[in-house]
Amino acid sequence: MVMATRSPSHTSGRVMALGTTHQERYRFATWPIKCSSAPVANHLSPFLQEWAARLLLERSLSIKSPTIAYQLTGSKKVQQVLASPRVLERFLSSAQADDLRVVFAGLYPLDASSTGRAALEAALREPHKFVLKPQREGGGNNVYGEDIRKVLEGLGERERSKFILMDLIRSPPFRGYMVREGQLIDAQVVSELGIFGIFLGSGPTVLLNETGGHLLRTKSHESNEGGVAAGFAVIDSPLLV
């Protein structure tokens, strides 16, 4: 069994040790973290222990991949807030903010604000124009079409505010071929190109911030979801022309 502990000479927990015994300990530099995107009952004791462990990691000197702050920036709610008027200007020039907004889909809150109430009314009136998104990752969590109306009508104001509403992106389909479980599938498909980013920082200091490759996913245009691991899409290769 491998255990991680605080170094006894550093009671603040800023230096972490890894080893199989108390005599064989090694400091480690990086924590890859793939959790905290699923809802948990935070009032239950086991989950309080998990958050205490996460707090210990965040306070350590090791590199967190990602830090909790960086993880939050990718959440649906933060994406929606960044799309709100005059928010991008806190971080970018007006010209840069305008350039970014050109490629934004419409993102709306579902809280008690006037914008949230207007979004709720629009979603109930024309649900086929939107995607209802919870604060989840990994595919299979979004709500589409008439199901949006059913979900929203069953939620109270507090529960509804945990979701955001996004304009449905309607990409033009094209004929393509996918291979899944050894079978060739000839279908009308759509693709989604994602760009990987590499970021390393220390407090307010940015040490590295650059692109690091891409991922092209292709799926049937009839499928709402697009996750590869969830079985909705396949990994593809772009053809540059």
CB within 8 Å of 175: residues ≥ 6 apart: 186, 187, 188, 189
CATH architecture of structural domain 174-236: 2-Layer Sandwich (3.30)
| Structure-token pair, residue 53 | 């462990």
| pTM (predicted TM-score) | 0.77
Rounded (10°) angle between helices 114-125 and 146-153: 130
Q: What is the number of other CB atoms lying within 10 angstroms of the CB of residue 111?
A: 19
- The arithmetic mean of pLDDT across residues 167-173, rounded, is 93
Exposed/middle/buried for residue 173 (C-beta within 10 Å: 0-12, 13-18, 19+): middle
Per residue in 27-41, pLDDT (tens digit) is 667 877 766 666 554
Per residue in 7-17, pLDDT (tens digit) is 443 444 455 55
Per residue in 137-163, pLDDT (tens digit) is 766 789 999 999 999 999 999 999 999
| Structure-token pair, residue 150 | 């059913």
Instruction: Report the distance separating Cα 102 and Cα 97, nearest Å.
Output: 9
The number of angstroms, rounded, from the C-alpha of 114 to the middle of its chain's C-alpha atoms is: 26
CATH architecture of structural domain 89-167: 2-Layer Sandwich (3.30)
